[in-house]
Every structure is written in structure tokens, then in C-alpha cells.
């Protein structure tokens, strides 16, 4: 589907039943679970980024590209991806969605991708990430504006950083002015329950994410 048609469709559906001021703002308060205590939002069982990746001990990637609903939706479609969870990374304290929404906590809406390295590579997951959001946008993604919607990859070590640097280099060679932040992975805070698997549960359409083949084609004028 043409990208403009896809985005227009998403915006049209959104304006009919959603408020596009940001991810959680389009969820009616009636459908939300009560906000958990920040201590419960934190994920004390987060995997060790330096642990060896095997089928019994899967690999992990952390990606931020605007509203985590859309990033989660498209990445969990990939064969070999075992799970995608919405959460927050980049800040120093346990956050709630309302706090992250102020854009002042340092957190970015981030997904943690759990994948089987025997079936899919980190590079394949990262390449898909760069093709489902616009990595040239600064401090926003589509209609969602704020530092919490920035484009970022949080890497777990030098191997992941080398993969990301290589992909960004390919995008720049194709003419894209990549603004994606690359930083070391830190604490991943699991988002509230009503953010998880949002599009699967509601059967709605992502409003600011759509696949675009950026690695094989230069940007359109």
C-alpha cells in the first residue's frame, strides 16, 4: 500500500475514534487498567544484556521509534521474534506513563524484543525497525511530539552497536539524514498493562507507523 494512503487511512480512522495527541491519550479511561505502583512497573527479571544468546536463553533488542504500540505491532509479526513488550528506557527512575508523557523524564517509549537467534538475527530485527518508523525525525514521530517519542536504539554491547552503525551508514548512503540516537541499554521499565499488545487487542490500525523499504531505495523527493 502506498505510504501516504496507509498513513492517511490510519489518521482517518484515528480521528474518527481516537485522539492523536499521543499513545495512551487515545485509550479511553474506561478501558485502562488501574495504574500500577511504579515499583510494580519495573521489571526486576530483566535479562542480563551480556548473557549468551541461545534458544533456551534468547537474545534481546531495545528500540524506540515513537509510540510503542506501532513499533511493537510490526516487530512481533516477524518469524523468530518470541515476544515484544512495551516499556520505557533512558530515564533514571521508575516512571508512570503520565510522567513519561511530560517529555521531561529522559525516558523514551521503548520496546524490548525477545527473539530466537537461531531463527532470526539482530540485524534483521533492527533493519525492520528502521523501516517501520521515520529515523530522520527529531523529538517526534508523526503526530506524536516530544522527547519521549524520539528515535533511539539502546544497544547491549559492541556487537549490537556495530550492527546499528552499519545500518545507519547504509541509510545515510541512501540519502537519509538519520537522527536516531544510539546509546547503551539501561534499565527497562515495563509499561502499564493496557499498553501491551494494544493493536492486537483492539484490532485498530497503527496511525504513524508503516513499512517503507529504506535500504533498497533512496528517499523520495
- Residue 52 has a pLDDT of 40
Residue 5 vs residue 176, higher pLDDT: 176
Question: Radius of gyration over alpha carbons of the chain, in Å?
Answer: 17
How do residues 140-157 score in pLDDT, each as one tens digit? 999 999 999 999 999 999
Query: What are the residue boundaries of the structural domains of the chain, listed by start?
Result: 3-202
CB of 108 closer than 8 Å to CB of 149: yes
How do residues 175-219 score in pLDDT, each as one tens digit? 999 999 999 999 999 999 999 998 889 989 888 899 999 998 666
List the Cα angle 141/62/203 in 5-degree steps: 60
Catalytic residue numbers read 67
Instruction: Judge: domain 3-202, CATH 3.30.1060.10.
Output: yes
Provide the pLDDT confidence category of residue 25 given band limits of 50, 70 and 90.
low
Q: Where are the alpha helices (DSSP H) in the chain?
A: 3-17, 38-41, 68-75, 97-100, 122-132, 158-173, 198-202
- Residue 177 has a pLDDT of 97
- Residue 208 has a pLDDT of 87
- Is the pLDDT at 1 greater than 80? The verdict is no
d(CA 87, CA 15): 25
> Helix %, strand %, coil % for the chain, to 5?
35, 20, 50
CB of 93 closer than 8 Å to CB of 113: no
Span between the terminal Cα atoms of the chain, in Å: 18
pTM: 0.78
- Residue 17 has a pLDDT of 37
Amino acid at each position: 500500500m502506498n505510504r501516504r494512503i496507509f498513513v492517511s487511512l490510519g489518521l482517518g480512522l484515528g480521528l474518527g475514534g481516537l485522539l492523536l495527541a499521543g499513545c495512551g491519550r487515545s485509550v479511553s479511561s474506561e478501558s485502562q487498567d488501574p495504574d500500577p505502583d511504579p515499583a510494580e512497573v519495573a521489571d526486576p527479571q530483566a535479562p542480563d544484556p551480556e548473557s549468551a544468546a541461545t534458544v533456551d536463553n534468547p537474545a534481546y533488542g531495545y528500540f524506540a521509534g515513537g509510540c510503542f504500540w506501532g513499533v511493537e505491532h510490526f516487530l512481533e509479526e516477524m518469524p523468530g521474534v518470541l515476544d515484544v513488550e512495551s516499556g520505557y528506557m533512558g530515564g533514571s527512575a521508575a516512571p508512570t506513563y503520565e510522567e513519561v508523557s511530560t517529555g521531561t523524564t529522559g525516558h523514551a517509549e521503548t520496546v524490548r524484543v525477545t527473539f530466537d537467534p537461531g531463527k532470526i538475527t539482530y540485524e534483521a530485527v533492527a533493519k525492520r525497525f528502521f523501516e517501520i518508523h521515520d529515523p530522520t525525525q527529531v523529538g517526534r514521530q508523526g503526530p506524536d511530539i516530544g522527547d519521549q517519542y524520539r528515535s533511539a536504539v539502546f544497544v547491549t554491547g559492541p556487537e549490537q552497536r556495530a550492527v546499528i552503525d552499519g545500518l545507519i551508514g547504509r541509510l545515510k548512503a541512501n540519502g537519509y539524514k538519520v537522527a536516531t540516537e544510539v546509546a547503551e541499554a539501561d534499565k527497562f521499565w515495563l509499561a502499564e498493562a493496557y499498553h501491551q499488545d494494544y493493536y492486537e487487542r483492539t484490532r485498530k490500525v497503527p496511525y504513524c507507523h508503516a513499512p517503507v523499504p529504506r535500504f533498497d531505495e533512496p528517499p523520495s523527493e
